[in-house]
Amino acid sequence: MPYFDAASSAPLHPVARQALLASLDEGWADPARLYREGRRARMLLDAAREAAAEAVGCRADELTFTSSGSRAVHTGISGALAGRHRVGRHLIVSAVEHSSVLHTAEVFEAGGGSVTEVPVGRTGAVTVESYQSALRADTALACLQSANHEVGTEQPVAAVAEVCRAAGVPLLVDAAQSLAWGRVPGDWSLLAASAHKWGGPSGVGLLVVRKGVRFATQGPVDERESGRAAGFENIPAIVAAAASLRAVRAEAAQESLRLRELTELIRSRVPRLVPDVEVVGDPERRVPGIVTFSCLYVDGETLLHELDRAGFSVSSGSSCTSSTLTPSHVLKAMGVLSEGNVRVSLPAGTTAQDVERFLEVLPGAVAGVREKLGAPGATVASARADSLVVNALGRRCPIPVIELAKVIGDVPVGGTVRVLSDDEAARLDIPAWCEMRGQEYVGEEPADQGTAYLIRRTT
């Protein structure tokens, strides 16, 4: 069964498996002890730190192993903010950061801090100018991911790091999606990553704090990992993480070319095979292996189940697959279609045959879901000859958009359709539909229930 969700968690690399099993027999003792077993465990831990530091491009004494990538992010942000509290209490993040960054920012803001969220364009990238304009005299820290986890877009980290350095502000980079492919460029100050993203075992993260960065670890501190990660080190997992990082780097140049060709095949063929599809993310500046597209008039969760039954494991940023029933914050920030969203992220070793079979299965799966949603039975009432009201209250995505598409042809050019909806996803998907179909999105206004979205027919 082809596994196409490597951006969530990559399959365990063979080198990681070998290193994990071998170090279980050698790395079980306390590396802080001076007896033979402790010294052996310390040697394994030190060697893993050296290997990981070489891959990242930092000093070994700047790198801390944490219990996860999220823990590395939490510790890095909170420690840097505390270390620079005399400078001020202002934090900069991008609108498309991983939830671990945004959740930490929320906690900081709730505690009295100030947070600036930098917007992105339709490709999912920030501009250097937007970060530069967000910098203030009281800015303690800026955060920027190296590549987006949902759409694969690479961020201008080196240029942002340069303007932050000129302002005396440290930049923390979440490198979870890119570290397998190479070092993060630029003069960044802190870096976080997660081993299970590159084929290492879960439960191991990396936190790098450059020398000279003011840092104050928050919470209880012990003697391990420079006081930045309390608790007994999981040496077998750490050894496996470092070994697999070195292994994937050795394969990166060749494998990245292969995966880029396969994802470009998906990017180019899906719009031809499936009508009413928007492929999102930057077409050029992107990490290998990730391609994301959204299908109009499709329930994302149903589509994922159909693809799973056909033998393909993919993920989605669609609101229809979320327990909160709100659109993906990444897709929302980009202003792109969220309904029927599919993220394909290919692991190393994916074959062209698997991709071809996916492209054969996808059109039928989308058509089947659309057929099931073809007659939702929303109430449509005519207000004037040149205006219609669509009542889609109580209906989840993509029903409001489906109902809009059904009636837009019933008003003359210049006429309007007013869609009533209480689904948060409609705020994103109706404007996206208008852009895709060449209609004018006039705006939204309060209604007795939910929100009224006004669309003017232009074609």
Identify which of 402, 425, 420 has the alpha carbon closest to the alpha carbon of residue 318: 425
Any residues with CB less than 8 A from the CB of 448 and at least 6 apart, and which?
A: none
Long-range contacts of 17-22 (CB under 8 A, 24+ apart): 17/240, 18/243, 19/236, 19/239, 19/240, 19/242, 19/243, 19/244, 20/201, 20/236, 20/237, 20/239, 20/240, 22/239
Distance CA 77, CA 191 (A): 10
DSSP, collapsed to helix, strand or coil, labels residue 313 as: strand
Closest alpha carbon to 344 in 320, 326, 327, 362: 362
Q: Write the DSSP assignment of 329-395 as a string of letters.
A: HHHHHHT---TTEEEEEPPTT--HHHHHHHHHHHHHHHHHHHHHTS----EEEEEETTEEEEE-TT-
**148: DSSP letter:** -
Active site residue 320: yes
- Tokens 């893993």 identify what position? 48
CA dist list (Å): 387 to 57, 384, 412, 453, 459: 62, 5, 9, 13, 15
Measured in whole angstroms, the distance separating CA 68 from the mean position of its chain's CA atoms is 16
Among 235, 244, 147, smallest CA distance to 199 is for: 244
Q: Which two tokens stand for residue 197?
A: 């993203």
Among 125, 178, 143, 147, residue whose Cα is nearest residue 336: 125
Distance in angstroms (rounded) separating the CA atoms of residues 155 and 120 = 10
Q: Which of 143, 164, 295, 320 is catalytic?
A: 320
Rounded to the nearest 5 percent, the helix, strand and coil shares of the chain are 40, 20, 40
Catalytic residues, which ones?
Answer: 320
